[in-house]
Amino acid sequence: MADHCFGGNWTTDKLERVRKYLEAYMTIFSGNERARKLTPIYVDAFAGTGYRTPASQPPPDNPLFPELEEPETEAFLKGSARIALEVEPPFKRYLFIERDPERAKELEKLANEFRIKGHDIEVVETDANQYLIQWCHRNDWRYARAAVFLDPYGMQVSWDLIEALGQTQAVDLWLLFPLGMAVNRLLTRNQPPTGAWAHALTRMFGTNGWEKAFYAHHTQMTLFGKEEEYYTKEADLNMIGRFFIERLQTAFYKVAENPLALRNSCNNPLYLLCFASGNPKGSETAIKIAQHILST
Ligand SMILES: C[S@@+](CC[C@H](N)C(=O)[O-])C[C@H]1O[C@@H](n2cnc3c(N)ncnc32)[C@H](O)[C@@H]1O
C-alpha cells in the first residue's frame, strides 16, 4: 500500500459530514419518481487513495502547497472515495480523479473491489481542474446530477473549475477552502503579495478583487513634503471566508451561509468546509440539509 498521510480529527469530522450529505442525497434521489429518471454521479476530484494512515512528517513551510497537517491518532481510516462507495443507496456512477500515479493505482484496487458488487467506477489519473472542466461540458445535464467533492491540500482548485461546475446547474458541491492553511498566509501584512502568490490568489478567487477587499491603501506626506504610499492588511479570517462565500454565490444558485471552520488542535482554522448547490429546483432542499449538517 502506498501510504497516504494527512489530516487530523478535523479530517474525520469533515468526511463524516460529507458522508451524511451523500446518504441524504441518495435517499432523496431514490425516493423521488422524477429524480429516479436521472443518473446520480459522485465525483471525487482530489480523491487520494481511498484510505488514510498516520501522518509521519511535519508540514513543509510553503503556504502555496501545504501537503500535510497534524498526525492522526488512528492507524487506518477510510478516505472519501471508500466512504462514497459505501453510501446506501449507491450512486449510479463514480468518477475518481487523482494526479499522483501511486495513489491512482490504489484507487484502481478500491474500484475493483466495488466493481465486483456492480458499481460503475471510473478512475482517471490526471489534473482535476482541466479534466473536470471538460467533463462538465461533455455531460448532458438534462439526464444527470452530480455530487462533487473537491478536497485539495491547498490552493489547487482553480476558479474556472468552480465556475464550470456551477454552470451545469446540476452539481451539488462540497469544497474545502484553504482559509488559514494557505490563503491567509499568502496575504502578507505590510503590502499585498505580488508575483506567484498574487497569481495563486487570483486563480482561486477568479478575480483580483481580493486586493481591494483585503487591503487599505494609504498615502501620507513625508517630512520632506513627498507623498508616500503604503498598505495595511484589513482582512481577518472572517472577512476572507465571507469574500469566498460571496464569490461562490456568483457561480452557484445557492450557497450554504454557515461554512464550517475546521480547526487544528491549537484551535486555528485551517480550512472552511463550504457547500453550494447549482440546481434551481433542488437547491432549496439541498441547502437546508447541508446547513443542518454543517451546524450540528
Ligand atoms: C487531501 S488529499 C484528498 C483526500 C481524500 N479526499 C480522502 O479523503 O481520502 C488531496 C489529493 O489531491 C491530489 N491532488 C493534488 N493536486 C491535484 C490535482 N491538480 N488534480 C488531481 N489530484 C490532485 C493529491 O495527490 C492528494 O492525493
Architecture of domain 9-188+236-295: 3-Layer(aba) Sandwich (3.40)
Q: Please give the grid coordinates belonging to residue 53.
A: 494512515
Q: Identify any residues that bridge with 78 across adjacent strands, giving them in sequence order.
A: 51
Distance of alpha carbon 206 from alpha carbon 158, whole angstroms: 8
Residue 69: per-residue pLDDT: 42
Q: What's the pLDDT score for residue 226?
A: 86
Share of the chain above pLDDT 90, in %: 81
Give the distance (Å) from ligand 1 centre to CA of residue 56. 18
| Confidence band for 75, pLDDT divided at 50, 70 and 90 | low
Give the pLDDT of residue 73.
44
Instruction: Find the mean pLDDT for residues 143-151.
Output: 98
Taking the centre of ligand 1 as the mean of its atom positions, its distance from the CA of residue 168, in whole angstroms, is 23
Confidence tier at 76 by pLDDT (50, 70, 90): confident
* Residue 49 alpha carbon to ligand 1 centre in Å: 9
In a 3-state reduction of DSSP, which class is residue 238? helix
Tens digit of each residue's pLDDT (9 = 90 or more) over 6-16: 566 899 999 99
174 CB within 6 A, ligand 1:
no
What are the sequence ranges of the domains in the chain? 9-188+236-295
- Lowest average pLDDT, out of 34-48, 125-139, 192-206, 221-235, goes to 221-235
Question: Model's pTM, two decimal places?
Answer: 0.92
Say if residues 106 and 116 touch (Cβ distance below 8 Å): no
Per-residue model confidence (pLDDT) at position 112: 98
